[in-house]
Amino acid sequence: MSEATLNTATEAKNPVSGLRRIIMMIGLMRESPAGMVGAFLVSFWVLVAIFAPLISPFEPNATLVPFMKPGAVNPDGGTFWLGTDHIGRDILSRIIWGSRTVLFYAPLATFCAYVLGIVMGLVAGYYRGWIDDVLSRIGDMILSFPVLVLYIIIISTVGASGLNIVIAIVFASGPGIMRIVRGLVLDLRNRDYVAAAQTRGESAWRIMLVEILPNARGPLIVDACLRMGYVIINIGVLGFLGLGLPPPDPDWGGMINETRQMALIFPHMTVIPCIAISTLILGFNLLADGMRDISLRD
Amino acid sequence: MAILITKRLLMMLLTMFAVSLILFLLLEIDVDTIAIKVLGQFSTEEQRYLWLERNGYYEPVYKRYIIWLGNFITGDFGTSTIYKIPVAEVLWPRLWNTTILAFWVFVFLVPVSLVLGILSGMREGSKLDRTISVVSILTTSVPEFASTVFFSGLFVFSLQWLPGTSSMFEGFDWKQLVLPVLVLLVYDFGYVTRMTRASMAEVMTTHYVRTAVLKGLPYKRVILKHALRNALIAPFTVLMLQINWLLSGVIVVEFFYAYKGFGALLLEAALRQDIYMIEACTMVAVFVVVMTQVFSDIAYTLLNPRIRFS
C-alpha cells in the first residue's frame, strides 16, 4: 500500500509528463539547428515506415519491368519514380518498405543491447567486487574483437536471419553499453539519495532501477542515438556483404549488394539505397549532437 | 613502469587465451561438421571417419585444444580448404597488403584529423568550428559501403580518373590504392577530429591557458607551447584505438574493390566456411587490436605526467 501512495505522490509532484515533456523537448531542440535537421530526417523515415502500405506505389517484391530509368512509365499504369532494379522491382517501393525493415531491426537490437548493457552495468557498478571484475573482463574480451569480425563470425556460423542479426548486435554492443553504465553508476552510487534509500531499507534492485538509473539517463539517451546510427550502419554492412536478411524482402544493404555489379551502367539502383541509409544515419547522428548540445546547456 | 607493462602484457595473454578457447569451442566442438566443411558435402561417411581418425579428432576435447593451441603458437595454422595450401602462406602476404593500405590511411588520417580538430577546438563556437563539426558528422554518417558507391560513381564512372577495382593483378599500382584509402579516410577522420576538438576545447578553458593569454603571450605561442601538449594526449589514444575500426572498414573496402587483403580473406573464409582460415584470421585480428590497446595504454602513461608520477 505504501508503494502505491508513493507512486501517486511522485506523479502528483511531477505533472510535466508525457506529451508536455515531448513538447518541451521540441522547444529545446529549436535552439540547435543541427538537432532540428536530425529530428526532421528521423521523423521523415519513421513516417515513411509507418505509412508504407499507403504511399508505396507498387508491391515491393513484384517483378514488373527490369532496368527502367528513374521516371520511366510503366506500360500497365503508374510511374517508376526511381526506376526499377535488375529483376524489375520498383525501387521507390522497395526503399519505402525497406525503411520498415531497418526501423524495425535497428531499434529492436539497440533496445535489447541496452537492456543487457544496463543490467550488466548496474550490477557491476553497484556491487563492485568480484562480479564487477568478471563482467568487465568478459566485456573487455568481446570488445577486443573488431566489430565486423565478430558479426561475420557469428552470422556465418549460426546463419543469416533477422533474429540472428539482432542477437549478434546485442552480443557485440552490450559490453560497450555496460562500460558506460558502469562508469555512471560508480559516480552516482555515492550520492546522498542512494545512501538515503539504503537507510530506508530499499532493495538493491529498486535502488539501481529507481534511484540510480533515471539519474544516468542523459548520457545514455545521447549514446543510444549514436549507437542507433552504428547499428543501422552494421545492418547495412551485413546486407552489403551478403550476410544480411534473406531475400526477397527489401533491405537497403541487400539492395546495394544485389545491384553493385551494375552500378556503372545503372547507377540509380545502387545510389538510391545508399542515399536512403546515409540520410537515416545522418538523422540519428545530428539528433545525438543536438541533444548533447542541449544537455550541456543546463 | 615495468610493472605496468608486465601487467598489461599478462592481461593481453589472458585475453588471447580466452578468445582462442571460445573460438575453438565455437568452430571445432562438433567434429562431424568439421569433416563436412573440410572434405566437402559429397564426401562419404567412411571418408569422414577415416579423416577424423587420422587427424586425431576422436581424442578428448581438452587434449585437442592443447595440441591446436601448440600448433597455433608455433605458426602452424593448418591447411586452407579453399586454397589447399597452408593457411600461413595465404595469410601473411594478405596481411602485408592490408598493412600497406592501413599505413596510407594513417599517413593522411593523422595530420588531417589533428589539424581540423585543433582548428575547431581552438575557438569553440566559431564559424570554422561549426563548419568542421557539420562536415565531420556528415562524413561519419555515410557508411563505407555507401561512399565506395559514391566515389566510384564520381571518379571511375564520371571523371574516369581512377580504376574501379584494386585487385593489383599486374603488380603494385598506386592508382588502385587511391579509392580504398580515400573511402577509409573519409569515414574515419570525422570521429578523430571530433575527439581532438573536444580535447582541445577542454584545454582552452583551463587556467594555465587563460593565464598565458592574459600575461600577453602571442596567441600562436599559447597554442603551440601551452595548449597542444596536453590537448594531444587524448587524440593519440583515440588514433591508436582507431585501428580496431579500420580492421572492420577494411573488410568492406577490400570486398568492394577486390583488393587482395586481410579483410577480404576473412570474409571469404567465413562465407565459405574455411574454418582454419577463420581461426587464423580472427586470432590475428584480435592480436592486432589487443596489441594496440596495450601500446596506447603505455603511451598514454608516458605522455601524461600526472599518471606517470603517481
Specify the CATH number for the domain of residue B127: 1.10.3720.10
In-domain check, residue B220:
yes
B149 contacts on A by Cβ (under 8 Å): 256, 260, 263, 270-271, 274
In-domain check, residue A33:
yes
Res A4 pLDDT > 50: no
B228 and B299, same domain (yes or no)? yes
In-domain check, residue B288:
yes
A157 contacts on B by Cβ (under 8 Å): 26-27
- One-letter identity of residue B278: I
In chain A, the residue whose alpha carbon lies closest to the alpha carbon of B270 is A156
Report the alpha-carbon distance of residue A108 to residue A103 in Å, rounded: 8
Reference A162, options A212, A107, A219, A202; nearest CA is A107
Report the alpha-carbon distance of residue A278 to residue B139 in Å, rounded: 9
What's the pLDDT at A18? 66
In-domain check, residue A83:
no
Total-model pTM: 0.86
Q: What is the mean pLDDT of chain B?
A: 85
Percent share of chain A, pLDDT over 90: 36
What's the pLDDT at A8? 43
B186 and B256, same domain (yes or no)? yes
Q: Which of A153, A237, A271 sits opposite B149 (nearest CB)?
A: A271
Q: What is the mean pLDDT of chain A?
A: 85
Of the pLDDT bands very low, low, confident and very high (cuts 50, 70, 90), residue B58 is confident
B255 and B203, same domain (yes or no)? yes
Q: Cβ of A25 under 8 Å from any chain B Cβ?
A: no
Q: What's the 3-state SS for chain A?
A: CHHHHHHHHHHHHCCCCCHHHHHHHHHHHCCCHHHHHHHHHHHHHHHHHHCHHHHCCCCCCCCCCCCCCCCEECCCCCEECCCECCCCCEHHHHHHHHHHHHHHHHHHHHHHHHHHHHHHHHHHHHHCHHHHHHHHHHHHHHHCCCHHHHHHHHHHHHCCCHHHHHHHHHHHHHHHHHHHHHHHHHHHCCCHHHHHHHHHCCCHHHHHHHHHHHHHHHHHHHHHHHHHHHHHHHHHHHHHCCCCCCCCCCCHHHHHHHHHHHCCCCHHHHHHHHHHHHHHHHHHHHHHHHHHHHHHHC
B288 and B172, same domain (yes or no)? yes
What tens digit of pLDDT does each residue of B16-53 get? 888 888 888 888 877 777 888 788 777 888 888 888 88
In-domain check, residue A73:
no
Beta bridge partners of A80: A72
B66 and B110, same domain (yes or no)? no
**Which candidate in B28, B98, B137, B141 is best for mutational testing of the A interface (most A CBs within 10 A)?**
B141
Of residues B175 and B128, more confidently modeled: B128
What's the pLDDT at B64? 84
B38 and B141, same domain (yes or no)? no
Contact A274 B141 (CB under 8 A): no
Q: Which of A146, A240, A285 sits opposite B248 (nearest CB)?
A: A146
Contact B145 A281 (CB under 8 A): no
Q: What is the CATH number of the domain that holds A54?
A: 1.10.3720.10
B141 and B219, same domain (yes or no)? yes
Of the pLDDT bands very low, low, confident and very high (cuts 50, 70, 90), residue A7 is very low
Q: Cβ of A233 under 8 Å from any chain B Cβ?
A: yes
What's the pLDDT at B43? 80
What's the pLDDT at A9? 42
B144 contacts on A by Cβ (under 8 Å): 237
Contact B245 A146 (CB under 8 A): yes
In chain B, the residue whose alpha carbon lies closest to the alpha carbon of A264 is B157
B215 and B266, same domain (yes or no)? yes
Report the alpha-carbon distance of residue A274 to residue B148 in Å, rounded: 10
Domain that holds residue A259: 3-60+90-297
B44 and B106, same domain (yes or no)? no
Reference B122, options B198, B33, B19; nearest CA is B198
How many of the other CB atoms lie within 10 Å of CB of A219? Answer: 14
What's the pLDDT at A235? 92
A32 contacts on B by Cβ (under 8 Å): none
What tens digit of pLDDT does each residue of B110-122 get? 999 999 999 998 8
The pair phi, psi for residue A17, each rounded to 5°, is -135, 175
In-domain check, residue B230:
yes
In-domain check, residue B81:
no
Contact B252 A270 (CB under 8 A): no
B31 and B113, same domain (yes or no)? no
Of the pLDDT bands very low, low, confident and very high (cuts 50, 70, 90), residue A297 is low
In-domain check, residue B88:
no
**Which candidate in A148, A179, A258 is best for mutational testing of the B interface (most B CBs within 10 A)?**
A148
Domain that holds residue B169: 97-303
Contact A253 B286 (CB under 8 A): no
Q: Structurally, how many domains does chain B consist of?
A: 2
What tens digit of pLDDT does each residue of B212-226 get? 888 888 888 888 888
B45 and B115, same domain (yes or no)? no
What tens digit of pLDDT does each residue of A143-197 get? 888 888 888 888 888 888 889 999 999 999 999 999 999 999 988 888 899 999 9
How far does the CA of residue A59 sit from the closest CA of chain B (Å)? 25
Secondary structure of residue B229 in the 3-state scheme: helix
A262 contacts on B by Cβ (under 8 Å): none
Of the pLDDT bands very low, low, confident and very high (cuts 50, 70, 90), residue A298 is low
Q: Structurally, how many domains does chain A consist of?
A: 1
Contact B252 A147 (CB under 8 A): no
In-domain check, residue A157:
yes
What's the pLDDT at A1? 40
Q: Which of A145, A147, A278 sits opposite B146 (nearest CB)?
A: A278
B267 and B176, same domain (yes or no)? yes
In-domain check, residue A168:
yes
Between chain A and chain B, the number of residue pairs with CB atoms below 8 A apart is: 117
In-domain check, residue A8:
yes
What tens digit of pLDDT does each residue of A34-86 get? 888 999 999 999 999 999 889 888 888 888 888 878 877 877 777 888 888 88
Res A5 pLDDT > 70: no
Res B172 pLDDT > 80: no
Contact A267 B286 (CB under 8 A): no
Assess contact for B121 and B132: CB atoms under 8 A.
no
Contact B152 A153 (CB under 8 A): no
Report the alpha-carbon distance of residue B32 to residue B286 in Å, rounded: 27
- What is the per-residue DSSP string for B149-169? HHHIIIIIIIS--S-S----T
